[in-house]
């Protein structure tokens, strides 16, 4: 009897501390609130009713203010890389207005802004090569999204699929970017979230099941936000604490945590990600094509602009 009392007492004490931690962390992060209210630390973004992308230009004047070392790197990169529009010419040739590749100056200007920020040359060269060869120019993949949680526009121009791991710090940061991107483009962007728990993250798979278990009570996104807000603290008690703090039926939640169906859904999601070429988290696809630029609103907008100009003009 005495042992049972102490187990219940300390269990209750821990649960209350989890609930307090839940509200503190969710309130202090830049993520969407763990409940349905917004708790951004940054000013709210004004929604864009209709995204209109203007044609960009790129010339020597575009990068004249860069340090000489950065200028030399950029010129060499443009000379060595292939055209983003998959034309039989170099990136450097492709940025000219008469080349007929409006996506090229968009990406060249993006590169210039990264160099202004002091982005490492080697990493930028790697990102550029992958974005051109395996991202923007890739054949769209038929990604399976049916049955997975989605939000955003019902008639989007840009469909994003995110593969993420709830124990991943970079995924937690990217989830905040997704909140603000959907906030800014409510009529143009749609997001599907898919699980990709990494094997060396011991609680990632169970956290994914916890999100799905919450989804059984129409609370997938609140649980999604709560898990990312506490990604470094994941454990069974935390999952239960989140469920109680969200007002879920805890008994049902704990029963659903044992569901073989939900576990299979998580495992299937990872397998589908592997088949699509995913090997790290977070990984994004824009309109079926892998996305390799940095995970910022500006970088997603860069891909959106490039997609907008896709096939508008043939290369000359």
User: Looking at the structure, do residues 105 and 120 belong to the same domain, yes or no?
Assistant: yes
Do residues 258 and 202 share a domain?
yes
Please check whether residues 190 and 148 belong to one and the same domain: yes
Check whether 17 has a pLDDT greater than 90: no
In a domain, 5, yes or no: no
Range of the domain at 77: 60-140+295-308
**Torsions phi, psi of 42, nearest 5?**
-95, 160
What pLDDT, on a 0 to 100 scale, did the predictor assign at position 47? 72
- Only one residue has tokens 């940061």, namely 173
**Predicted local confidence at residue 241, as pLDDT:** 97
Q: What is the pLDDT of residue 50?
A: 60
pLDDT band at 316 (very low <50, low <70, confident <90, very high): low
- Whether the Cβ atoms of residue 58 and residue 104 lie closer than 8 Å to each other: yes
Same domain, 212 and 263: yes
**Do residues 118 and 178 both lie within one domain?**
no
| pLDDT tens-place string over residues 29-69 | 333 333 333 333 456 666 775 667 889 999 999 999 999 99
Residues 154 and 250 in one domain: yes
Q: Does 15 map to a domain?
A: no
Residue 166 and residue 274 share a domain: yes
No. of helices (H) and no. of strands (E), the chain: 12, 5
- Specify whether the CB–CB gap between 138 and 262 falls below 8 A: no
- The answer to whether residue 263 is domain-embedded is yes
Does any domain span residue 235?
yes
Domain total in the chain: 2
Residues 242, 210: Cα–Cα separation, whole Å: 10
Residue 8 pLDDT: 40
Res 311: pLDDT: 73
Alpha carbons 193 and 39: distance in angstroms, whole number: 21
Is the confidence at residue 15, as pLDDT, over 70? no
Same-domain status, 262 and 178? yes
| Tens-place pLDDT, residues 234-270 | 999 999 999 999 999 999 999 999 999 999 999 999 9
In a domain, 265, yes or no: yes
- The DSSP 8-state label assigned to residue 85 in this structure reads T
Mean pLDDT calculated for residue range 267-296? 97
- Domain match, 125 and 165 both: no
Residues 163 and 236 both lie in one domain: yes
- On whether residue 176 sits in a domain, the answer given is yes
pLDDT for the residue numbered 290: 98
- Give the number of C-alpha atoms closer than 13 A to the C-alpha of residue 201, restricted to the C-beta side: 24
The reply to whether 8 falls in a domain is no
Residues 146 and 156 in one domain: yes
Q: Are 205 and 197 in contact (CB under 8 A)?
A: yes
Q: Rounded to two decimals, what is the model's pTM?
A: 0.85
pLDDT digits (tens, 9 = 90+) for 76-98: 999 999 999 988 999 999 999 88
> How many CB atoms are closer than 10 A to CB 236?
12
The pLDDT score that the predictor gives to residue 315 is: 74
- pLDDT for 51: 64
Domain annotation covers residue 315: no
Q: Give the domain CATH number at 224.
A: 3.40.30.10
Q: With 80 as the cut, is the pLDDT of residue 9 above it?
A: no
pLDDT tens per residue, range 98-145: 898 999 999 999 999 999 999 999 999 999 999 999 999 999 999 999
Joined together, the tokens standing for residue 130 give: 């992958």
């Amino acid at each position: 009897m005495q042992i049972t009392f102490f187990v219940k007492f300390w269990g209750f004490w821990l649960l209350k501390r989890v609930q307090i931690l839940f509200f503190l962390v969710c309130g202090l992060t830049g993520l969407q609130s763990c409940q349905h209210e917004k708790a951004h630390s940054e000013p709210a973004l004004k929604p864009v009713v209709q995204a209109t992308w203007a044609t960009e230009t790129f010339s020597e004047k575009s990068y004249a203010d860069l340090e000489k070392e950065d200028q030399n790197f950029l010129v060499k990169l443009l000379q060595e890389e292939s055209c983003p529009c998959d034309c039989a010419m170099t990136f450097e040739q492709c940025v000219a207005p008469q080349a007929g590749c409006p996506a090229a100056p968009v990406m060249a200007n993006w590169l210039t802004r990264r160099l202004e920020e002091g982005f490492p040359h080697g990493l930028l060269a790697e990102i550029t090569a992958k974005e051109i060869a395996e991202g923007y120019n890739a054949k769209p993949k038929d990604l399976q999204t049916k049955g997975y949680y989605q939000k955003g526009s019902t008639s989007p121009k840009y469909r994003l699929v995110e593969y993420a791991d709830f124990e991943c710090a970079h995924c937690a940061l990217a989830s905040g970017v997704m909140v603000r991107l959907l906030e800014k483009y409510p009529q143009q962007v749609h997001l599907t979230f898919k699980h990709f728990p990494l094997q060396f993250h011991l609680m990632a798979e169970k956290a994914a099941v916890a999100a799905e278990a919450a989804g059984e009570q129409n609370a997938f996104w609140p649980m999604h936000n709560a898990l990312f807000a506490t990604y470094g603290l994941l454990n069974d008690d935390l999952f239960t604490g989140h469920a109680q703090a969200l007002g879920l039926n805890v008994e049902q939640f704990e029963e659903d945590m044992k569901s073989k169906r939900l576990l299979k859904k998580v495992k299937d999601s990872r397998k589908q990600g592997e088949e699509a070429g995913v090997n790290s988290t977070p990984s994004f696809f824009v309109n079926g094509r892998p996305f390799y630029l940095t995970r910022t609103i500006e970088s997603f907008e860069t891909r959106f602009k490039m997609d907008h100009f896709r096939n508008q003009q043939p290369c000359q």
